[in-house]
Amino acid sequence: MSSKEQLLNDIGIVSFVIVELGLYLDTHPYDRNAMEYFNHYSRIKQQMTREFSMKYYPLTMEMSEGSKEWRWGAAPLPWEGACV
């Protein structure tokens, strides 16, 4: 697995954790430990997404902010094998 694929995989894992913690917090809104985990993983995802966007291409349009050129269209499309 290339470093690009590994970073995308890691972002996917952290995204899953964030969604699951969000679902848990929907039913346990006063669980401070869960909220700390949610905030921790949110920061990690933000950092990894920023790193990926700087090295390869933005994962969201907002990640193009501050760039000198529009790179949103630089990502490979699904039919080009990007989602395999």
Domain boundaries, the chain: 3-80
Helix, strand or coil, per DSSP, at residue 57: coil
Sites in the chain below the pLDDT cut of 50 = 84
What is the pLDDT, as a whole number, of residue 83? 59
Entry pTM: 0.81
In our burial notation (b when 16+ CB lie closer than 10 A, e otherwise), range 28-43 reads: eeeeeeeeebbeebee
Distance CA 67, CA 82 (A): 23
CA distance 15 to 29: 19
Encoded tokens for 30: 């006063």
